[in-house]
Structure 1
């Protein structure tokens, strides 16, 4: 991964091996009260070539560890970028590049996001996205650049053998919808 900081930046952007996807760390300004940090800035997103639009902000609560959500994406005309953060507990967040012209097409990247590490993940358009709760009570808070649009929603199975994602703990809870997404090469 390559870290890119612009002058005066209050956020730290590190590009993942999948072009256009970034891990975003807080640049904490501390004093005896604690710290201040910028969690989102449209200008800094634009400086890094990222889509800063926010159409919706979502909160997802997962009662039990082993709960998986995804892998989801939306096709045109409602392709969406997401900005993920874990605010309680720990999740393992995974993205899959589905851009046919990309040199990393069908490759994936995974990272632990937690309330303690305060990291976030920027998910570009046409990336499938999902996460696994690694702790009971894990909560994810994320923005989406487009509105949820059922007619263009798509998904890939979390256990697709083509992807061979190595989830850090067993998946024990999955929705019927997520379990029934097609395999990439089916």
Structure 2
């Protein structure tokens, strides 16, 4: 597999080496030893989540307070989606910057999202299914939600119509509001050197 760091420190795009034959394809979707070798941070899965979305569904931007923190290994296992990671770590050299990747079931590409970095996606197909392998279990009250339509972030969702979005995400604070409320982690506490 190829593991390449994105423009956001600690975030990586993972592209598996696929082995096709007449029956179909085989590939390793995740190897914790290879991921740890690339990131320098141990990743031990503690919970696996799935969400299934209709086309034009927009979910995110989500993260988890530190502590407990939560790294995510995100893969689209059915359909396709526009995946966006946003650096929410105050003091990071890329604070507020984002990276867009298209994840789809055919490519098997995944994104590693480190602690303190926000994540969201737009479903590009009907019945898109995303898998989150996460480093910590769910702890109520620790979620960080940022409005994915925050005009200051100006994320390139490129949705051809009004996206389907939850009330929770639509009413989430902007990054500026989250900074003023003291909700966001510091870069030095976010598991990234």
Residue 28 of structure 1 and its aligned partner are, at CA, apart by 2.0
Range with greater deviation from structure 2 (50-59 or 137-146): 50-59
Higher strand share: 1
Give 5+ residue unaligned stretches, structure 1.
1-10
Once the two structures are superposed, residues 70-104 of structure 1 have per-residue CA deviations (whole angstroms, 9 ceiling, x without a partner) of 11111121111001111111111111111222110
Q: Residues 16-70 of structure 1, C-alpha deviation per residue, up to 9 Å, x if partnerless?
A: 11111111011123444433321111111111124411111011111x2111111
Residue number in structure 1 paired with 2:119: 129
Structure 1 residue matching 2:33: 3-state secondary structure: helix
Give 1:75's aligned residue.
65
Conserved 8 A contact 1:132-1:171:
no
Distance 1:37 1:47 in 2: 19
Contact 1:69 1:131 in 2 (8 A): yes
- Unaligned residue ranges in structure 2 (runs of 5+): 178-193
Structure 2 residue matching 1:151: 3-state secondary structure? coil
Contact 1:96 1:109 in 2 (8 A): yes
Could you tell me which residue of structure 2 aligns to residue 144 of structure 1? Answer: 134
More deviation in 79-88 or 162-171? Answer: 162-171
1:1-186 counterparts in 2 under 5 A? 11-48=1-38, 49-62=40-53, 64-169=54-159, 170-186=161-177
Q: SS at the partner of 1:76?
A: coil
Name the TM-score, length of structure 1 as normaliser: 0.89
> Is contact 1:69–1:174 with CA below 8 Å preserved after alignment?
yes
Cα deviation for residue 15 of structure 1 reads 1.1
Question: How many residues are aligned here?
Answer: 175
How far did residue 172 of structure 1 move? 2.2
Larger mean Cα displacement after TM superposition, 25-34 or 111-120: 25-34
Equivalent pair of 2:146/2:175 in contact (CA under 8 Å): yes
DSSP-derived class of the 1:150 partner:
coil
Partner secondary structure for residue 65 of structure 1: coil
TM-score (norm 2): 0.85
From the superposition, tell whether residues 90 and 98 of structure 1 become closer, same or farther in structure 2 (CA, over 3 Å): same
Aligned to 1:5: none
For the aligned residue pairs, the C-alpha RMSD in angstroms reads: 1.4
